[in-house]
Amino acid sequence: MESATGLPPIDCDTPSALLLCRGHDNLSQGRARTTKNGELGKDLRSQRRCFAPDGDAKNFHYAPMPPSPVSLSPHSPMTFYSRASVYSAFFAPSDQMKGSIDRLAKFALKRAPKSVLDPCCGPGLWLEHFAKKGCVVAGSDLQAPAVASAEARLAGMRAVVAQGDMRDPPALLGASFDLCINLDNSIGHLGCREDVIAHFIAMRARMQPKSAYILGCAIREADDVIIAETVYERGPIEVAGGGFAALRTETLGIDPETRCERIRQWTMSAHVPECPPLIIEQYDLLTFGIAQWKEMFEASGGWEVLQCCDATTESLPSRPFTRGAGDVVLLLRPRIAATRKKSTRASATKKAPLKKPSRTLRKR
């Protein structure tokens, strides 16, 4: 059957076919995910129909992909992350998201941050945001191509970037940061609880006492169920440096034994330099229940949860830091060591009346 374009009909579910669609990049905007009611999945399915070629024919190009190398890397997120231009095309933070993060930083610091560290900086998208505001920024990432991309993005700004592991970010990045940021559950790429604790200890060592850590993570209980579905879908969109790409991320649910969430990601591209047309990756992200998060905070020296926000909405609305909170952004502050607190309190008792202890967890 022929369509209005004279081209064969498109089966959008066939990964070996890539539809390039100029001006129609809104298959799904944002990085929302719904795990409970599946509404986003429904929207995606209906929106996908806008791919039918008999719509705005002049804007549609159908490009059947030739047999080509497929990168399939089970349990490794590395291929997509090493395609910095493609990553940046999809995950450059929106103005709304930037505003939400700035609001959290201001809530914690009572002023704009001066120095910012991202220990999983990827191509430096968040570092760029803060560098443009005049902050000194530093970042590290496991992926050399991501680090190279961050370096290029931050050239001429007050920035230092290096390759390194979030469990012990390179010393050359410096210390005494007043803000750390690590979004999108990058911490879930670590291997186990001990890795997460090592990461928190390393971050404390690089932070000022009254600083803040904005952390994206997943709070899931052992009995939480995640329905397998598409959680993010967007494109094709233009990629800076050339070409187009489309991305689909699916959750395959939680492995009951490891408690990891299994993610499958499809990256389809055309004419993007050094990027295979199809990358299918499957990897596992660590998740922990609320009690485990609290235990890991204690085991790494203590962290106050100043705010817990719903990460599925870019306005980052507050939500309780409780069981099954799901994908969240936590605003954390390293707790000051008990001995220091005690001595401050002792001298305060002598010299001035005791102040009310500050509330660390907002009541809802």
Ligand X SMILES: C[S@@+](CC[C@H](N)C(=O)[O-])C[C@H]1O[C@@H](n2cnc3c(N)ncnc32)[C@H](O)[C@@H]1O
Residues that bind ligand X (CB under 6 A): 81, 91, 118, 120-122, 125-126, 141-143, 146, 165-166, 183-184, 186, 189-190
Measured from the CB atom, the residue of 19 and 131 that comes closer to ligand X is: 131
Distance in Å, CB of 347 to ligand X, minimum:
41
Residue 138 or 142 having the CB closest to ligand X: 142
Nearest CB to ligand X, comparing residues 278 and 311: 311
Burial class for 85, CB neighbours closer than 10 Å (0-12, 13-18, 19+) = buried
Q: Which is nearer to ligand X, 189 or 248 (CB)?
A: 189
Which residue minimizes CB distance to ligand X? Answer: 122
Report the residue number, 141 or 314, with the smaller CB distance to ligand X. Answer: 141
- The owner of tokens 């070409």 is 243
Task: Supply the minimum distance, in Å, between the C-beta of residue 195 and ligand X.
Answer: 8
Q: Give the integer Cα–Cα distance in Å for 20 and 270.
A: 8
Nearer to ligand X, 149 or 269 (CB): 149
Q: Which is nearer to ligand X, 21 or 329 (CB)?
A: 329
Among residues 186 and 269, whose Cβ is nearest to ligand X? Answer: 186
**Smallest distance from the beta carbon of 286 to ligand X, in angstroms?**
11
* SS3 letters across the chain: CCCCCCCCCCCCCCCCEEEEECCCCCCCCCCCCCCCCCHHHHHHHHHHHHHCCCCCHHHEEEEECCCCCEEEEECCCHHHHCCHHHHHHHHCCCHHHHHHHHHHHHHHHCCCCCEEEECCCCCCHHHHHHHHCCCEEEEEECCHHHHHHHHHHCCCCCEEEEECCCCCCCHHHCCCEEEEEECCCHHHHCCCHHHHHHHHHHHHHCEEEEEEEEEEEEECCCCCCCCCEEEEEEEEEECCCCCEEEEEEEEEEECCCCCCEEEEEEEEEECCCCCCCEEEEEEEECCECHHHHHHHHHHCCCEEEEEEEECCCCCCCECCCCCCCEEEEEEEEECCCHHHHHHHHHHHHHHCCCCCCCCCCCCC
> Minimum Å distance from CB 79 to ligand X?
10
State the minimum distance, in angstroms, from the CB of residue 190 to ligand X: 6
Least CB distance to ligand X at residue 146 (A): 5
- Smallest gap from residue 360 Cβ to ligand X (A): 26
Residue 264 CB, shortest distance to ligand X, in Å, is 15
